[in-house]
């Protein structure tokens, strides 16, 4: 299985400010925006567009 099974990159860029994302801080444009996004998470003010690929439920489906 290839190791490149990443989630499809969003062309919208930084989810915080909309600027092109940088490889170092992807999907954000900078560490600052990363922190801002993290703050939103902690505040619960963030709508998750889709669940991550990691699903812990290994039981019945």
All residues at 6 or more sequence positions from 36 whose CB lies less than 8 Å from its CB, including other chains = 16
Between 11 and 61, whose beta carbon lies closer to Zn ion? 11
Residue 29 within binding range of Zn ion, rule CB under 5 A = yes
Binding mask 31-50 for Zn ion (x = CB under 5 A): --x-----------------
Do the Cβ atoms of 14 and 21 come closer than 8 Å?
yes
Residue 21 within binding range of Zn ion, rule CB under 5 A = no
Stretch that binds Zn ion, among 1-9, 30-38, 42-50, 52-60 (CB under 5 A): 30-38
Unique residue bearing structure tokens 């560490």: 31
Unique residue bearing structure tokens 């993290």: 38
């Amino acid at each position: 299985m290839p190791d490149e099974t990443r989630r499809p990159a969003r062309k919208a860029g930084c989810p915080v400010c909309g600027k092109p994302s940088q490889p170092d801080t992807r999907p954000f444009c900078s560490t600052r925006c990363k922190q801002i996004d993290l703050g939103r998470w902690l505040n619960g003010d963030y709508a998750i567009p889709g669940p991550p690929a990691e699903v812990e439920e290994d039981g019945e489906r």
